[in-house]
Structure 1
Amino acid sequence: MDVAGDRRLLIHGFKSVDHGDDESRTFPASAPPLPPPTETSSPITSPPYWVQSHRRSASQVSVDSVLHGGITLHDNTTGYSDSNDACWARSVTIDEHAVVNGNRTGIGAFVVWNITIETLSGSKINLRKRYSEFDTLRRNLLMTFPLSEASMPPLPPKGVVSKFRPKFLDQRRIGLRYFLNCILLNPEFSSSPVMKDFLFT
């Protein structure tokens, strides 16, 4: 059947268009609707970063979105603060001791410890102290800071019989050095008048 010089035939759901020449084209009469893709029927899946909602990570948050005053930085390498002024000691060493005899019989003899304190500026303070002076320092610190007993290490135990034996003296030296290190590295203790009395009297 000719309509306006064109012949159109419906063959199995396809239209064949004949323009009167040797060329003929075949195309679907009507494309059937495609079913909506599902997770099982669709072989193509989206990348996970497409499916998930867009969220900025902590590293992507702009500086302007951070509340002012929320984060502060303090440079401890230059300048000084109150805590830096209080902590003035770098290390403590107790290398030697001397036994001071009371009399010819040895009654009243005691041990003096040679102490070297290195400051943050590089200078050194040399002290000679008895065990009893360490004991006085600790008691005065506890009276001045009664709530700081937990942060204050104990002194090495006292000895009566073996107080001049090398092994006992070496253990005492280690204990005294540890005690004094802890005290001087605590800004509250190291800047107190009690500590100054220990250093300069």
Structure 2
Amino acid sequence: MASAIDQANDSSAGWSVAAANVPEPEASHVVTSPPYWSSQPRRLHARHPSNISTESLPTGAIRLRDNENADDDDRNNACWAQSVEIVDFTVVNGSAGSIGAFVVYIIKVQTLAGSYMHIRKRYSEFHDFRERLILSFPTFEAMIPQLPPKSVISKFRPKFLEKRRAGLQYFLHCVLLNPEFSGSPVLKDFLFA
């Protein structure tokens, strides 16, 4: 039994030595398809690497476009706001400690025509708007920033409200000035409802 194991080890050792002596194939600059892809001769599938992409594109598949002056682009026409800013916030329904008090953020939107709109929104309206945006644009969820966090303890403190104002302003910049979202009914409902 020991002799059979020794013979197996000898034969495997001989096999690995023989495999080490196999010459490596020369490097080729021709791209070829595997033979099982087609029954046609191999020489018909050989391509030079620099011609691979140009040969496989139909004529006119790539067009250059000047987006600076593109008047016919629907996405460019969807942009109607030049800037957006949350200029202030105010506590409604008495003092900050009273029951039922809430904060309203005052939004100033400048249109491309140069006119201004002043809109008042609560944080809960921003939250609902973001949820509806994600439902309407599920493939663009990564482009919709998170809202600043809520806080039960600090919700009326000026420092917290200022940080929240800045976070909500960033959110509006990313959404309102983005051509993918600016023409959407969801955004118009948020601003004008």
- TM-score, normalised with respect to structure 2: 0.63
Structure 1: segments with no counterpart, 5+ residues: 1-66
Identify, as 1 or 2, the structure richer in helix: 2
SS, match of residue 199 in structure 1:
helix
Residue among 117, 121, 125 paired with 2:109: 117
Cα drift, residue 68 of structure 1: 7.7
Identity %: 55
Distance 1:88-1:104 versus aligned 2 partners, 3 A rule: closer
Distance 1:104-1:200 versus aligned 2 partners, 3 A rule: closer
Structure number with bigger Rg: 1
Residue among 59, 66, 74 paired with 1:74: 66
Residue aligning to 2:192: 200
Distance 1:197-1:68 versus aligned 2 partners, 3 A rule: closer
In the TM superposition, what whole-angstrom CA distance separates every residue of 1:110-160 from its partner, at most 9, and x where no partner exists?
000110011122111110000000000000011111122111100000111
Structure 2: segments with no counterpart, 5+ residues: 1-58
Of structures 1 and 2, the one scoring higher in RCO (CA 8 A, sep 6+) is: 2
What residue identity is the alignment partner of 1:85? N
Cα RMSD, aligned residues only: 2.2
- Does structure 1 residue 128 correspond to structure 2 residue 128? no
SS, match of residue 99 in structure 2:
coil
Cα drift, residue 69 of structure 1: 8.3
Distance 1:107-1:116 versus aligned 2 partners, 3 A rule: same
Residue aligning to 2:139: 147
- Does structure 1 residue 92 correspond to structure 2 residue 84? yes
Aligned residues: 135
SS, match of residue 167 in structure 1:
helix
Identify, as 1 or 2, the structure richer in strand: 1
Residue aligning to 1:188: 180
What residue identity is the alignment partner of 2:68? N
